[in-house]
Amino acid sequence: METEPHPRDLITQTRYWYIFLDPDQKNLGTCIVSLKRESGHLSSLKPAEWQEFIKIVYQLEKSIKKAFKATLFNWGCFLSEIEENKLLHLEWHVIPRYQQKLEFEKKSFSDPCFGKSTIQICGETLILPYSLRNKIISKIRENLNI
């Protein structure tokens, strides 16, 4: 059974953005929306990138809510260096929040931080087997209209 972190699992892409399943699935359906080009500042986003991002927010939230019955969503924007002093990478993390426990593919999920910030990590990282990640990706794609 594969449990090691997998390279980012691509869900889909648009003209300006990639959408990946986050390796940590302690909140079922957690995704990363990553700008395709190098960018060192959120303020450097172009109007067309913002417009496309707004559509992604709407569609991704709608899809995850339909797929897994998420209660609400937290979004966080992060900049990260791919290589030291070389490439600044802008990405948004979408974290579905769940008021109730849920089951997907015979696996139980809960949100121990519901009602609190996920900045204070509650629980260990949850890396799922490749086959289960693929089922999560399929379920998100099934309801995603991008």
Q: Which two tokens stand for residue 69?
A: 């019955």
Residue 89: what pLDDT? 79
For the ranges 31-35, 84-88, 109-113, 131-135, the lowest mean pLDDT is seen at 84-88
Please enumerate in sequence order all residues whose Cβ is within 8 A of that of 84, keeping only pairs 6 or more positions apart, or say none.
none
For the ranges 59-68, 87-96, 116-125, the lowest mean pLDDT is seen at 116-125
Q: Which two tokens stand for residue 107?
A: 């696996």
Yes or no: say if 96 and 59 are a contact pair by the CB < 8 Å rule.
no
User: In the chain, how long is the greatest CA-to-CA distance?
Assistant: 44
CATH of 9-142, picked from 1.20.1050.10, 3.30.70.20, 3.30.428.10, 3.20.20.70, is 3.30.428.10
Quote the mean pLDDT of the chain. Answer: 89
- What average pLDDT score do residues 134-144 get? 97
Determine the Cα–Cα distance for residues 138 and 35; give it in Å rounded to an integer. Answer: 22
Residue 52 CB: number of other CB atoms within 10 A? 17
Q: Which two tokens stand for residue 90?
A: 């802008």
For the ranges 1-10, 35-44, 80-89, the lowest mean pLDDT is seen at 1-10
Domain ranges of the chain: 9-142
SS3 76: strand
Q: Is the pLDDT confidence value at 129 over 50?
A: yes
According to DSSP, the residues that pair with 108 across neighbouring strands are: 103
pTM of the predicted structure, to 2 decimals: 0.89
pLDDT 10s digits, 2-30: 334 346 799 999 999 999 999 999 999 99
- What average pLDDT score do residues 134-146 get? 96
pLDDT band at 120 (very low <50, low <70, confident <90, very high): low
Q: Which two tokens stand for residue 50?
A: 């913002």
Closest CA to 123 of 98, 140, 106: 98
